[in-house]
A and B are shown apart, each in its own frame.
Chain A
Amino acid sequence: MIYALTVPGPIEDAEEVRVLEWHCAVDDAVNPGDLVVELETHKALVEVRAAQAGYLRRIVCADGGWCAIGAPLAILSDTLDEMPGEQADDLPMLLVEFEVC
């Protein structure tokens, strides 16, 4: 299956976040508990960790980019054989865990 990694929420006071740093590259395997991406609100960092396994296939919002809560950050798939399309908006959501630090 193909999934979208979206900006998790709710995060207090945040409508929009900035991507601080991706910790995975395209085609990397992602396992539950792996730190995938760090996001920045106006006053906090948000660590987003995978809660299911998959492969990162496409980064929609690169380092320094802006993304609204709930909007897609990346596309992942269960296997490398699957070919994700360009559209990330209507995909099922990848399960994640997040912590506001």
Chain B
Amino acid sequence: MSGKPAASAPVRMFFREAIARAAREAMQADPRVIIIGQDVGAFGGSYKEFAGLYDAFGPARVRDTPIAENAMIGLAVGAAAAGLRPLVSITYMDFLMLGLDPLVNYGVKARFKTGGQLSVPLIVKTTAGAKGQGVAHSQCIEAWMMSVPGLQVFAPSTPADAYLMLKAAFLAEGPVLFVDHKRLFPVAGDVPPSDAVADVGRAAILRAGDDLTLVAHSYMCRVALAAADRLGQSGIRAEVIDLRCLSPLDIATVETSVARTGRLITIEEGQKICGVGAEIIAQLSCLPLSFHCERIAALPAPISSNPVLEAAALPDPDRVVAAARALMTKPLHKEYP
């Protein structure tokens, strides 16, 4: 696996394989890169997203840990401050909560506290999203993390971005929270060659349209695209924007789209209150822009492991289509009020 020549053309692969490829290339390129977490070693990662790395790089660089998120992130912060480039894998984003003290109070602040003398080039990779595992293994708390100054938050929706953005995270100066999603691992897509570079910090327009703007990130981009397809069948042209990166947030791309459409729906799997959509709408409200908007998010309840209740709590294309139709009935005010 490590003896393969660098790919020179896009290669189709599963989302988890794109992550493994980015990690493998980073480990080949830089001996300071290490991977730590539960089941990252011989098992190859909880979602097989680190498959092959243990065999290629050995137990010193691909290290299994006990289930102790606070200690895992704590030692990774220390290792990064001391000169390594660790990726620490937190299998369920729910348990990132246990590691927030070392990440937020030490990892992210080290650069500020030392006047830039100490940097903490750390990746915390974690998997968000609901897929039948109940109240404490389903949450999307990435919006909390957007308000931590100095923490970058990446949330790709495609195998190509998983590869490019994880590669970029391995080169970043400070901590990066890399959020993937349980329902993205089965997705396949074309991944660019190894000399491609991510346009980190820029949102992507996944589908162009003039009637309304749908903004999402991670798995919800697929919900947005499915809704846009259905809206398109009835003549409503929805633009779909994939934020890709929540911090820094590319509000300019959203603004340009909403200036044209005058209608915005934000879609996220986390909570509505103080969510990604709330932040986007708040930022747009401070601009000379007139628009109608709606936020779609998980219902304000814990996510049940009962599949009927889980589905009822989560945003789906039906909810997006209904919200879009309602917004389309509102007249546009092109003038700034």
Contact = CB atoms under 8 A, between A and B. Distances in A.
Contacts of A42: 14-16, 48, 185-188
Nearest to B47: A43
Contacts of A18: 12, 14, 188
A43 B16 CA distance: 9
Interface string A33-57: 0000000011100000000000000
B162 to A, nearest CB: 12
Nearest to A40: B14
B186 A41 contact: yes
Contacts of A13: 186
Interface in A1-53: 13-16, 18, 41-43
B188 A66 contact: yes
B12 A14 contact: no
A41 B187 CA distance: 9
Interface string A64-95: 00100000000000000000000000000000
A43 B12 contact: no
B48 A43 contact: yes
Interface residues of B, number: 10
Contacts of B185: 42-43
Interface string B23-42: 00000000000000000000
Contacts of A41: 186
A5 B196 CA distance: 37
A18 B12 CA distance: 9
B15 to A, nearest CB: 7
Nearest to B189: A16
Nearest to B15: A42
Nearest to A14: B186
Interface string B175-201: 000000000011110000000000000
A42 B49 CA distance: 10
A15 B48 contact: no
Contacts of B14: 18, 42
Contacts of B186: 13-15, 41-43
Contacts of B188: 15-16, 18, 42, 66
Interface in B148-192: 185-188
A75 B16 CA distance: 31
Nearest to A12: B186
A100 to B, nearest CB: 13
Contacts of A16: 188
B12 A15 contact: no
Nearest to A15: B186
A31 to B, nearest CB: 32
A61 to B, nearest CB: 12
A18 B159 CA distance: 15
Given A16-B188, A41-B186, A43-B48, A66 B12 contact: yes
A48 B325 CA distance: 44
Contact of A15 (B16, B47, B187): B187
Given A16-B188, A42-B14, A43-B47, 19 more contacts: A13-B186, A14-B186, A15-B186, A15-B187, A15-B188, A18-B14, A18-B188, A41-B186, A42-B15, A42-B16, A42-B48, A42-B185, A42-B188, A43-B16, A43-B48, A43-B185, A43-B186, A66-B12, A66-B188
8 closest Cβ pairs, A-B complex:
A42-B14, A13-B186, A42-B186, A16-B188, A66-B12, A42-B185, A42-B16, A14-B186
22 contacts: A13-B186, A14-B186, A15-B186, A15-B187, A15-B188, A16-B188, A18-B12, A18-B14, A18-B188, A42-B14, A42-B15, A42-B16, A42-B48, A42-B185, A42-B186, A42-B187, A42-B188, A43-B16, A43-B48, A43-B185, A43-B186, A66-B12
Interface of B: 12, 14-16, 47-48, 185-188
